[in-house]
Structure 1
Amino acid sequence: MEVREVELPGIGMKFSFETAEGETLCVVIHKTGRREIYRFLPGQDTPDSVIELSDKEARELGAILIGTHFQPDVHDTARLVMKELTIEWLKVSSESPLAGKTIQENRVRKLTGATIIALFGPTKKVLNPGPETRIEAGDTVVVIGEQPQIEQFKDRFALH
């Protein structure tokens, strides 16, 4: 599937692709964080439907679409492999360098290439956590990346 990306000066970015059924979906991401999703039926120039989402609503929808609302019944780790991408659920121990620091302080993406897409703790659920999100011992992090990135993440942050 080819995703077309176009900069909209003064507005933001537009991403569009064609579905297997021939429909075109366009997502406009405004600089304000607001998102608009347009659905075009095959051969149509005007959208059949339009959905407007706040930044928070878009992040929640994104989390649902990539499956972070489904957490397998596991004790410490779980793995989901999709083509070249892997998603793993990993429990953070008190010995892990992640514990007690934010995602930014740990420089997760810069050091490993992996991305934390969700964080679950005894009293919290954070989907699409920002760089300021603090990780505590006992939390479960949901990490996505290519398998070598996931392995580097586990090695770097003592999550085996």
Structure 2
Amino acid sequence: MGTRRSTLPGIGTQYDFTTEDGRHISVVVHHDGRRFLGFYDRDDPDACQQAVPLSQDEATALAHLLDAAPIDAVRTDGIDLVTEHIPVTSKSPYGGKLLGDTKARSRTGASIVAVLRRASAHPSPEPGFRLAIGDTLVAVGTREGVDALAEIIAGTPAGVDD
């Protein structure tokens, strides 16, 4: 089983999921909130056999069917806020660095509200909290802000400031 997250410039974000038996499924989340489920050919992982469009309400209902834990986006005065888990992988430039080094909030507007490490959680981490490879950041912000933060943590070119 594996997952992958890819930024689609000008469109949104694609989340790819491969099941234990090798089936490839993706979810594309557009900047405007539209979502599409994609089901791929088992023999050709690039050939999408079917795409199913989902409204935000339909996506939330499906998510609740898959996992009963509350995962709704928070709506505040018409602005959608999302919560996302962002892994600190071995490719991240922030493994071993201080949380404050990310400058997450000033660069993206997203906030890191917790760090999950192995079997423990560190809520409301201070800027002096040292990140480690394998940590998972719990981020809250707009879709665009959280996506930008994920790129920064991943060390992808789109997330690098100069």
Q: TM-score, normalised by structure 2?
A: 0.46
Q: Which has the greater radius of gyration?
A: 1
Q: TM-score, normalised by structure 1?
A: 0.47
